Chains A and B, each alone.
Chain A
Amino acid sequence: MASIITIDGLTKRYASGFEALKGVDLTIEEGEIFALLGPNGAGKTTMISIICGIARATGGSVTVAGHDIVRDYRGARSAIGLVPQELSTDQFERVIDTVTFSRGLFGKPRNPAHIEKVLRDLSLWDKRNSKILELSGGMKRRVMIAKALSHEPRVLFLDEPTAGVDVELRRDMWTLIGELRQTGVTIILTTHYIEEAEEMADRVGVINRGELMLVEDKVALMKKLGKKTLSVVLAEPLTSVPGELAEWDVTLKDDGHEIEYIFDTTAERTGVSSLLRRLGDLGIAYKDLNTRQSSLEDIFVSLVHQEKAA
Chain B
Amino acid sequence: MMLQNLRAIAAIYLFELHRFRRTLMTGLLVPVITTSLYFVVFGGAIGSRMTEVDGVPYAAFIVPGLIMMSMFTESIFNASFGIYMPKFTGTIYELLSAPVSATETIIAYVGAAATKSLIVGSIIFLTAHLFVDVQVAHPFAMAGFMVLIAISFCLFGFILGVWAQSFEQLQVIPMLLIMPMTFLGGAFYSVQMLAEPWRTITFFNPIVYLISGFRWTFFGQGDVGIEFSLLFVAGMLAVCIAIIAWMFRTGYRLKK
The chain B residues found within 8 Å of chain A, CB to CB, are 4-5, 7-8, 10-12, 15, 18-19, 22, 89-91, 93-101, 251, 255-256
Expressed in whole angstroms, the Cα–Cα distance for A73 and B97 within the complex equals 9
Closest to B22 in A: A92
How far is it, in angstroms, between the C-alpha of A93 and the C-alpha of B21 when the chains are bound? 12
Shortest CB distance B111–A (Å):
15
Taking A88-B93, A102-B94, A106-B98 as contacts, is the C-beta distance between A54 and B256 under 8 angstroms?
yes
Q: Closest residue of chain A to B256, judged by CB?
A: A55
CB of A84, distance to nearest CB on chain B (Å): 5
Which segment, of A75-83, A176-184, A276-284, faces chain B? A75-83
Instruction: Please determine whether B10 and A80 come into contact, CB atoms closer than 8 angstroms.
Output: no
Q: Kindly state the separation between the CA atoms of A77 and B100 in the bound complex, as whole angstroms.
A: 9
Q: Give 23 pairs: A residue, B residue, CB < 8 Å, sorted on A.
A: A14-B256, A53-B97, A54-B96, A54-B255, A54-B256, A55-B256, A56-B255, A73-B99, A74-B99, A77-B98, A88-B89, A88-B90, A88-B93, A89-B91, A90-B89, A90-B91, A101-B15, A102-B94, A104-B7, A105-B8, A105-B11, A107-B8, A107-B100
Chain B proximity of A156: nearest CB distance (Å)? 12
Q: How far is the CA of A77 from the CA of B251 in the complex (A)?
A: 17
Provide the A142-168 mask, 1 if CB < 8 A to any CB of B, else 0. Answer: 000001000000000000000000000
Interface pairs A-B: 7 shortest CB-CB: A104-B11, A88-B90, A74-B99, A52-B97, A107-B5, A77-B99, A55-B256
How many A-B pairs have beta carbons closer than 8 Å: the answer is 75
Report B-chain residues with C-beta under 8 Å of the C-beta of A14.
Answer: 256
> Would B97 and A82 count as touching, CB distance under 8 A?
yes
Q: B residues within 8 A CB of A74?
A: 4-5, 99, 101
B255 and A105 contacting across the interface, CB-CB below 8 Å: no
Residues of A within 8 A of B7 (CB): 104-105, 107-109
Is the C-beta of A86 less than 8 angstroms from some C-beta in chain B?
yes
Chain A residues with CB under 8 Å of B11's CB are 101, 103-105
Chain B residues closer than 8 Å to A199, beta-carbon distance: none
CB-defined contacts of B99 to chain A, threshold 8 Å: 73-75, 77-78, 106-107
For the complex, give the distance between the alpha carbons of A172 and B234 in Å.
57
CB-CB under 8 A from A53, the residues of chain B are 96-97
The smallest C-beta distance from A248 to any residue of chain B, in angstroms, reads 51
